[in-house]
Amino acid sequence: MATASLAAIVFVLISAVVASSLVVAAKLLRVRAKVDSPLKRRTYECGEEPLGPTWIQFHPRYYVVALVFVIFDLEAAFLLPWSLIVRELGMAGVIEVAVFALILMLGWAYAVKKDALKWQ
Amino acid sequence: MHWLLWSVVIITVLMTTTAWALWLERKLAARMGSRLGPTMVGRHGLLQPIADLLKLLQKEDILPEAADGALFNLAPILTAVFAIATVAVVPFGEGVIAADLDIGVLWVLAFGGLMVIPVWMAGWASNNKFALLGGMRAVAQAVSYEVPLVLASMVPVILAGSMSMTDIVHYQQQHSWIALWPTLPGLPAFLLFLLASLAESNRIPFDIPEAESELVAGVSTEYTGMKFGLFYMAEYIHTLVSSAIGAALFLGGWSGPFAPGLHWMLLKTLGLFVFIYVVRWTLLRFRQDQLMRLAWVWLVPMGLVLVFMAAVVVVWGGA
């Protein structure tokens, strides 16, 4: 398994080299503009002067989605190791995890009831 | 050193396949719309991907004055790296695999989850309203569909009792394709996986993050030249790799009669890929609230039910 881990790390490194070499190649091959125009470095806003700041506070519904995601992602993190040993644990294991999921789904039902996931 | 060879071969094949998958998609889309698609460069426009690459390499690289330079430049590279790195654990045949990790499925899910970060980096660093809105939508969508994707991928893991993709394919060789045999958790899980991967790779009908009629080009609005090219490439690589993973987890991977395994795996991958593109050019775009509702109200409970069905099948059936 040590070889597999090494192979995985090397694979990521190779993909990093491939991706960055494309950017470097573009840096070497690109055509440089003879006349510099500051206008082309202006933020694109359909040709108008950019209006107001971009980095603003955004709608709380994104925050709600992030919160619900954290809960369900944690659940997935608990379920993944369990999914490997379902056979050994037998019915007792299934029931125990089902109870855990059921408690979680109560929270989900509350969120649905409160229209938290409705994106209004 | 066996694996090093496979790593290089798999990355090379993936990159070239991506280039011509792009050609295939353009031809397909054109035919569906009674057009011809690329015809000028080479026979049937077959050299079009090379022409596109050369053009992108020559383009001027513009850094918008308001942008956050470091993040802006790093984002496209990271997107491409994460998209390519996913394929490390996908087996294309007996032993044709770059890294036979025993946590293969987890690796795939982890890199799928990481894809969110460069997209948000690009959206934020561009300092452009279209890009920021696109980035926010992309993150909200990717994060929502991540949960059904994890749950759907858990069904083959439970049935095969292993997270190694090779073991999952071996299990399917001994029994039958997971999409076919324990029909109840298998087939719905496959459909759920397809739906969630469509959403994860921002394909129509889930392409609200770069709805061109609203957001110009989403996070890639400010990008030019090869950096835009990397985003574009990463999207296609992601779709191809998702198809390969779907084929390995649910459609029996490299198993099949008459032909060598590698042919079957590539055939299944391309089949899923073409299916995704036919869907793309057939359907319309969902509204954002419909997207979120579908993920949280329907797909998440469905995924949980499928996971427990699979667990019960394994415990009672001893399969």
Give A40-100 as a 3 state SS string: HHCCCCCCCCCCCCCCCCCCHHHHHHHHHHHHHHHHHHHHHHHHHCHHHHHHHHHHHHHHH
The residue to which tokens 């999207």 are assigned: B235
Task: Show residues of chain A in contact with B140, CB under 8 Å.
Answer: 62, 65
Residue at B48 is within a domain: no
A64 close to A116: Cβ distance less than 8 angstroms: yes
A46 lies in some domain: no
Tell me, yes or no, whether A89 lies in a domain.
yes
* Distances in whole angstroms, Cα of residue B232 to Cα of each of B138, B217, B225, B259, B306: 15, 11, 11, 33, 34
Residue A72 included in any domain: yes
- What is the rounded average pLDDT of the residues B278-298? 82
From A14, A29, A76, residue closest to B7, measured CB to CB:
A14
In sequence order, the 6+-apart residues with CB closer than 8 A to the CB of B77 are: A16, A19, A20, A23, B230
DSSP B22-46: HHHHHHHHHHHTT-----SSSGGGT
Span B22-38, average pLDDT: 87
What SS3 class is residue B292? helix
Residue with tokens 């049935």: B159
Residues 6+ apart with CB under 8 A from B16: none
B149 touches chain A (CB under 8 A): no
Confidence (pLDDT) at B212: 65
In a domain, A28, yes or no: yes
User: Do A104 and A65 share a structural domain?
Assistant: yes
- Any idea which of A76-80, B23-27, B63-67, B73-77 has the lowest mean pLDDT? B63-67
- Is A65 in the same domain as A37? no
Tell me the pLDDT tens digit for each residue of A22-45: 888 888 888 877 887 887 777 777
Specify if A109 maps to a domain: yes
In A, residues 42-101, which contact B (CB 8 Å cutoff)?
42-46, 50, 54-55, 58, 62, 65-66, 68-69, 72-73, 76, 79-80, 83-87, 90-91, 94, 97-98, 101
Model pTM?
A: 0.88
**Radius of gyration from C-alpha coordinates of chain A:** 25
Contact check, Cβ <8 Å, B307/A8: no
Are the C-beta atoms of residues B244 and B276 closer than 8 Å to each other?
A: no
CB contact under 8 A, A23 and B136: no
B52 lies within 8 A of chain A by CB: no
- Domain count along chain B: 1
Same domain, A36 and A70: no
Residue-wise over B87-125: b if at least 16 C-beta within 10 A, else e? bbbbbbbbebbbbbbbbbbbbbbebbbbbbebbbbbbbb
Under an 8 A CB cutoff, do B60 and A33 touch? yes
pLDDT for the residue numbered B205:
61
Evaluate whether residue A49 is within a structural domain: no
Query: Tell me, what's the pLDDT at A56?
Result: 76
Distance from the B314 Cα atom to the nearest Cα atom in chain A, whole angstroms: 6
Which chain B residue has the Cα nearest residue A110? B297
Q: Chain B residues with CB inside 8 Å of A31's CB?
A: 58-60
Q: Is residue B14 part of a domain?
A: no
Same domain as A104, residue A72? yes
Q: Which residue has the tokens 């076919």?
A: B180
Q: Are residues A31 and A69 located together in one domain of the fold? A: no
> Closest approach of chain A CAs to the CA of B33, in angstroms?
29
Q: Which bin fits B283, alpha (ψ -120 to 50), beta or left (φ > 0)?
A: beta
Please give the residue of chain A at the shortest CA–CA distance from B152: A76
State whether residue B56 sits within 8 Å of chain A by CB.
yes
Instruction: Considering only residues B222 and B303, tell me which one the structure prediction assigns the higher pLDDT.
Output: B303
Domain count, chain A: 2
Token readout for A113 is 């009831």
Between the alpha carbon of residue A15 and those of residues B56, B240, B256, the distances in Å are 20, 16, 30
Domain encompassing residue B295? 19-37+64-317
Across the interface, of A16, A33, A117, the residue whose CB is closest to B297 is A117
Average pLDDT, chain B: 85
3-state secondary structure of B261: helix
Task: Render pLDDT for A41-80 as a digit per residue (tens, 0 to 9).
Answer: 777 777 777 777 777 777 778 888 888 888 888 888 888 8
Contact B69/A at CB under 8 A: no
Domain range enclosing A109: 61-113
The predicted pLDDT at position B261 comes to: 76
What 3-state class would DSSP assign to B96? strand
Q: Please name which of B39, B16, B31 lies closest in space to residue B278, comparing C-alpha atoms.
A: B31
Listed in sequence order, the residues at least 6 apart from B283 whose beta carbon sits closer than 8 Å to its beta carbon are B204, B205
Q: Alpha-carbon distance A80 to B150, whole Å?
A: 9
Give the chain A residue nearest B127 (alpha carbons). Answer: A54
Q: In this predicted model, what pLDDT tens digit does every residue of B8-19 receive, in sequence order?
A: 888 888 888 888
**Best residue of B11, B73, B129, B219 to probe chain A, by most A CBs closer than 10 Å:** B129
Sequence-distant (6+) residues with CB within 8 A of B48 are B23, B26, B38, B40, B41, B42
Partner A contacted by B117 (CB < 8 A): no
| Size of the A and B interface in Cβ pairs below 8 Å | 209
| Chain B touched by A34 (CB under 8 Å) | no
Q: Specify the pLDDT at position A120.
A: 62
Does the predicted interface ipTM exceed a cut of 0.90? no
Q: Coil, strand, or helix at residue B93?
A: strand
Distance, in Å, from the CA atom of A44 to the CA atom of B66, rounded to the nearest integer, reads 10
pLDDT tens profile B182-208: 778 888 999 999 988 888 777 666 666
| A112 near B CB under 8 A | yes
Angle of helix B69-85 relative to helix B104-114, nearest 10 degrees?
Answer: 160
Does B205 sit behind a cis peptide bond, omega within 30 degrees of 0 on the bond before it? yes
